[in-house]
């Protein structure tokens, strides 16, 4: 029996702010329980819904010494079994009483430093020795560091391997060296450029990447990109140095939840055989609900996104007047930077029959848009994996993407001569290229409709379920653990 412990700051269904929670919630359930004992450890946030939190069972508690800035703290261990997976929750109200899992940066550094040491300190208490600890993002970056330094003298921890998955390299947990050393209690000799020091500051993620036995990212192209200065966020040298221990594995989506044939949140169910008739019913109903011109012959483009610079929204701003012609509608769902929220509000006010700006996040409305739209827009500056394009395929909606990261790996550009491909893509981060690509998609949609429908069929036939990605992780775990 192989034993794996996932350590993360969020996990569906307990707490979610982004795709990280989907990965940590979905992946452990995919493994064969006869061969794999996979458990998950999270902070015991008070914002976890009572329907789960009220069922947590007390396991044990102890006091733990951290760095001089933290001192000795209470560590409670709670446990809950959900969908056959055992979850542990590190309890400390000083740190995890909150309405939202993240706060001010310096405070988060302290909370997650405490969490990382508590994860390791918990293991002998619950008598669970994992073969491998799978750490996710900067919030768990100090686990491999502690394991190889402060905990290395304890025989209990001998032989435990670590793996760090980078979901987004932009976020690293960086603060001044004096503070991070004072929080963690790690010796000053670790704060050097080849270990935890980064531009004269301390960096939690960098520590994890230096000390982990293996590193993964969420797509093969992103794994290559982060070894270059443009995408490397200052860590490209380290990523290039560790390229033999680095691999990209595409995230999956939940194919049971995201299924247009059974999804109760869309107006009309359909599948790969019936989308030609039924999909436009979803479009018509959404047009009615959002106050757009009701006409199923219009070309509807969807955009569901955090409204930030990363997502390429400045390119949309550059050419939006060209995008929304008389035959085109644009539906936006998302929240983020006020400049982009206001940009979409302005154009929705200017073209109320063509543009709908929904500055919110609604799962029900998002699913209705996946089912209604003809195409989905993702002109990202960088995109580690991207889930929106995978969900779009599932709902028979054609992605229009920039060739970066996971978008490049999952969307095959349409070739009208070979009659291949399942989406549209452009290479350079350029508003004119984006507009040309959207115009080309309109040409195929209006003039070559049978080819368009073939693209939809190819997209709907793809398999980006978690079952697909699981085998890659299984192989990696086996490789790292070796013969036991």
Residue 267 domain-assigned (yes or no)? no
Name the phi and psi angles at 55, rounded to 5. -100, -5
Q: Does one domain contain both 472 and 459?
A: no
- The whole domain housing 441 covers 275-463
| Whether residue 61 is found in the same domain as residue 191 | yes
- Whether residue 464 contacts residue 250, with contact meaning beta carbons closer than 8 Å, is answered with yes
Residue 23: the pLDDT is: 92
219 within 8 A of 382, measured Cβ to Cβ: no
Q: Are residues 235 and 356 in the same domain?
A: no
215-238, pLDDT tens digit by residue? 999 999 999 999 999 999 999 999
Please indicate, yes or no, if residue 288 is contained in any of the structural domains. Answer: yes
In-domain check, residue 32: yes
CA-CA distance, 114 to 55, in Å (whole number)? 24
Write down the pLDDT at residue 467.
86
Same domain, 78 and 176: yes
Sign (positive or negative) of CA dihedral 303, 309, 310, 315: positive
**Phi, psi dihedral angles at 274 (to 5 degrees):** -110, 0
Residue 266 covered by a domain:
no
111 and 143 both lie in a single domain: yes
> Do the domain assignments include residue 345?
yes
Same domain, 215 and 302: no
Same domain membership, residue 246 and residue 322: no
Residue holding tokens 């002109």? 379
Task: Print pLDDT tens along the chain (484 aa).
Answer: 999 999 999 999 999 988 899 899 999 999 999 999 999 999 999 999 999 999 999 999 999 999 999 999 999 999 999 999 999 999 999 999 999 999 999 999 999 999 999 999 999 999 999 999 999 999 999 999 999 999 999 999 999 999 999 999 999 999 999 999 999 999 999 999 999 999 999 999 999 999 999 999 999 999 999 999 999 999 999 999 999 999 999 999 989 889 999 999 999 999 999 999 999 999 999 999 999 999 999 999 999 999 999 999 999 999 999 999 999 999 999 999 999 999 999 999 999 999 999 999 888 999 999 999 999 999 999 999 999 999 999 999 999 999 999 999 999 999 999 999 999 999 999 999 999 999 999 999 999 999 999 999 999 999 999 988 899 999 999 999 987 5
Written in H, E and C, the secondary structure of 237-264 is HHHHHCHHHEEECCCCECCCCCCCCCCC
* Distance separating alpha carbons of residues 205 and 210, to the nearest angstrom: 9
Domain presence at residue 162: yes
Q: Mark whether 168 and 76 lie in a shared domain.
A: yes
Count the domains in the chain: 2
Residue 442 lies in a domain: yes
In a domain, 270, yes or no: no
Burial of 473 (0-12, 13-18, 19+ CB in 10 A): buried
Residues 438 and 289 in one domain: yes
Pairing of strands 85-91, 72-82: antiparallel
Question: Residue 332 maps to which CATH number?
Answer: 3.40.50.2000
pLDDT of residue 484: 59
* Residue 413: DSSP 8-state: B
Clarify whether residues 438 and 472 are in a common domain. no
Q: DSSP letter for 48, please.
A: S
Same structural domain, 6 and 136: yes
pLDDT at 77: 98
In 25-154, which ranges are E strands?
Answer: 36-43, 57-65, 72-82, 85-91, 132-136
243 lies in the same domain as 306: no
247 alpha-carbon distance from chain centroid:
16
Compute the C-alpha angle 365/436/392, nearest 5°: 30
Residue 254: the pLDDT is 87
SS3 136: strand
């Amino acid at each position: 029996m192989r034993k794996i412990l996932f350590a993360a700051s969020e996990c569906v269904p307990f707490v979610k702010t982004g795709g990280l929670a989907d990965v940590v919630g979905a992946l452990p359930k995919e493994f064969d329980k006869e061969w794999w004992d996979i458990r998950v450890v999270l902070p015991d946030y008070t914002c976890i819904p009572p329907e789960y939190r009220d069922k947590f069972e007390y396991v044990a508690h102890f006091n733990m010494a951290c760095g001089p800035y933290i001192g000795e703290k209470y560590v409670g261990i709670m446990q809950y079994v959900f969908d056959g997976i055992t979850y542990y929750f590190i309890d400390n109200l000083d740190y995890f009483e909150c309405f939202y899992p993240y706060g001010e940066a310096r405070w988060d550094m302290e909370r997650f430093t405490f969490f990382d040491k508590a994860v390791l300190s918990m293991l002998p208490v619950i008598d669970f020795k994992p073969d491998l600890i799978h750490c996710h993002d900067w919030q768990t970056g100090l686990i491999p560091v502690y394991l190889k330094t402060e905990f290395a003298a304890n025989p209990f921890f001998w032989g435990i391997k670590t793996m760090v998955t980078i979901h987004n390299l932009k976020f690293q947990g960086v603060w001044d060296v004096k503070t991070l050393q004072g929080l963690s209690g790690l010796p000053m000799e670790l704060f050097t450029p080849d270990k935890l020091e980064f531009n004269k500051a301390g960096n939690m993620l960098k520590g994890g990447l230096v000390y982990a036995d293996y590193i993964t990212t969420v797509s093969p192209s992103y794994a290559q990109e982060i070894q270059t200065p443009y995408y490397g966020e200052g860590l490209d040298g380290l990523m290039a140095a560790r390229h033999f221990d680095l691999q990209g594995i595409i995230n999956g989506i939940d194919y049971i939840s995201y299924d247009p044939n059974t999804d109760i949140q869309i107006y009309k169910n359909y599948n790969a055989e019936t989308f030609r008739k039924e999909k436009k019913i979803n479009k018509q109903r959404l047009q009615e609900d959002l106050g757009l011109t009701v006409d199923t012959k219009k070309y509807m483009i969807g955009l569901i996104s955090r409204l930030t610079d990363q997502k390429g929204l400045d390119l949309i701003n550059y050419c939006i007047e060209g995008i929304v012609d008389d035959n085109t509608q644009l539906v936006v769902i998302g929240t983020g930077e006020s400049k982009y929220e206001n940009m979409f509000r302005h154009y929705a006010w200017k073209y109320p029959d063509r543009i709908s700006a929904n500055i919110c996040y609604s799962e029900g409305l998002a699913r209705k848009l996946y089912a209604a739209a003809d195409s989905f827009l993702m002109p990202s500056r960088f995109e580690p994996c991207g889930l929106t394009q995978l969900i779009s395929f599932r709902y028979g909606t054609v992605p229009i993407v920039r060739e970066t990261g996971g978008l490049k790996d999952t969307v095959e550009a349409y070739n009208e001569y070979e009659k291949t491909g399942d989406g549209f893509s452009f290479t350079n981060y350029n508003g004119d290229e984006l507009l040309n690509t959207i115009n080309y998609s309109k040409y195929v949609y209006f003039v070559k409709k049978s080819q368009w429908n073939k693209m939809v069929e190819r997209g709907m036939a793809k398999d980006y379920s978690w079952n697909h990605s699981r085998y890659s992780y299984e192989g990696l775990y086996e490789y790292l653990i070796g013969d036991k």
